[in-house]
Each structure stands twice: as structure tokens, then as C-alpha cells.
Structure 1
Amino acid sequence: MRIDVDIDTSGPFFDGRAVRALHDFVDEAPYEIAREGLGIYLSIYRPQVRQPTPYYEYLIEPEKLAEYGVAHLWDGGECVYGPWLEGTGSRNSPATRFPGYGSMKKTTPELQAVAGTIAERLFADRYERRMN
């Protein structure tokens, strides 16, 4: 007995659209996670600051790096007192009494805890349809 089977080899998986969508997702996901990290950072940083000025807050932004699939959240290197605020500067404790806020350090575990959920939501919203 012989059974003939026809297989349709058209669609995103076979013509490369699924691979392109996956590459786009891997490139965009870290940036979206860093964007969400900005909100987490500000929610940690703002309550700690005694004399808030918006200058430093406005410098913090997510940035895609030249390396594929990598992004980070930083102050752009524009603010000379950024390391002091974070607590990594040479003028922090023990040189002075100010230990720094450590807001980026505190943001990291919170962002890592939600990064998978952010990536899953991004994939479902923007990339899943492109791959089917």
C-alpha cells in the first residue's frame, strides 16, 4: 500500500521570515527590558533622594549597544556625580559620610525578576504573528 503525502513548504518558516522575526526579537528584547528598568529605577531612586532635582533623572535612559542583542540603562556618562549618587565614586564612604543610594544595584534584581515576562509579552505582541 502506498500513501502519497504533499507537504506545503511555503510560509514564514520556509521563506526566512520567521528567522528574521526571531533576530529582530533578540535585538529588541534587551532594549524593551531596559526601558521597563527605567521605571523600576525611578521608583527606587526618587523616594531616597532628599533634595531631588530632575537633571540626573532625565539623563538615565536605556540604550542599545552596538553588540547584537545587548542594551543597558545608564546616565550616558554625562553626569560627573552619577557614580557618587550610586555609591561607587571615590568621594563616597569612607571618604565622606554619604554611602550613595545604590539605586542601580537595587534595580538589577527586580528587573531580572520580570525580564522574562517582559520578553514574553513583547514576543506575543509583536513577533509571534510574524513567525506563523
Structure 2
Amino acid sequence: MLLDVSTSSRGPIFDGRAQRVANAYVDRYERRLAEEGLNILRGEMHRVFKNPTGYYESRCEVIDGHKIWDNRVVYGPWLAGIGSRNFPVTKFRGYDHWTVTRDKLNERKRGIGERLLRQYTGRM
């Protein structure tokens, strides 16, 4: 008995299209998470700051497509409670705006990823 097996390697997995779509999804997902995180952070700043001037909030932005930072505002660590001038040097322990943002974003990231993935799976 002679058995002859042949295969064909065509399609998005073999020609690189699926990899490009997956990479585009990851890039967009990271950007979407960073933007959502920035929105959460701004809301938290409104919640916790007692006398906001708007300067610190205006300095917070998304960079490199996936990072949220405060442009190294000199009093940023003090506001977050991790500066050298926080407790025990002074009574001020800082605000929780960064940690609450992290926790809220972690709760939302799965839903954001699943909704976004629906736009990309058809192209794979």
C-alpha cells in the first residue's frame, strides 16, 4: 500500500498577515489601555485634590503609545506619597490617585481587550 500525503501552506498564518494583524492589535490595545488609564487618573485627581491648579493634570500624558507619566513634575512624588518630604517628615501621606487608577484599569483591561479583539479576528 502506498500513501501519498501533500499539504499546502497558504493563508494568513503562512504569509505573515496574521502576525501583522496580531501586532497591530497589541499596539492598539496598549494605546487604548493607556488612554483609558489617563482618563481614570484625571478623574481620580478631581476626586482627591483639595486645591487643584490644573498644572499637574495638564502635565500628565500618554507617551510611547503605552505609558502614562507626569513629565517629572517636581512635586509629583509628593502628591503620590512617595516623596522624601512625605510622612514622617510631614503629616501629608500623599494621595492614592495612581494606585486607584492602576486598580481600576486592571478591572477594565479584559473587557477592553475583548471588545477590541473583535475588530481584528476577522482579518486573521
TM over 0.5: yes
Counterpart of 1:120 in structure 2 is 114
Counterpart of 1:48 in structure 2 is 48
Contact conserved, 1:31 with 1:63, CA < 8 A, in 2? no
**What does the per-residue CA deviation read over 1:28-86, in whole Å, with 9 as the maximum and x for residues that have no partner?**
31221011011111222212111111111111112237xxxxx3211122x10110111
Q: Between the two proteins, what is the percent identity of the paired residues?
A: 41
**What does the per-residue CA deviation read over 1:78-108, in whole Å, with 9 as the maximum and x for residues that have no partner?**
x101101111101111111111112101111
Q: Which runs of 5+ in 2 are unaligned?
A: 1-6
SS of residue paired to 1:100: coil
1 CA distance for matches of 2:123 and 2:61? 29
2 CA distance for matches of 1:46 and 1:8? 59
Which stretch of structure 1 is more off in the superposition, 107-116 or 12-21? 12-21
Structure 1 residue 14 and structure 2 residue 7: aligned?
A: no
Counterpart of 1:98 in structure 2 is 92
1 CA distance for matches of 2:62 and 2:112? 15
SS of residue paired to 1:45: helix
Superposition CA RMSD, Å: 2.2
Return the offset for 1:26: 1.9
Return the offset for 1:113: 0.8
Q: Which runs of 5+ in 1 are unaligned?
A: 1-6, 66-70
Map 1:63-74 to 2 at 5 A. 63-64=63-64, 71-74=66-69
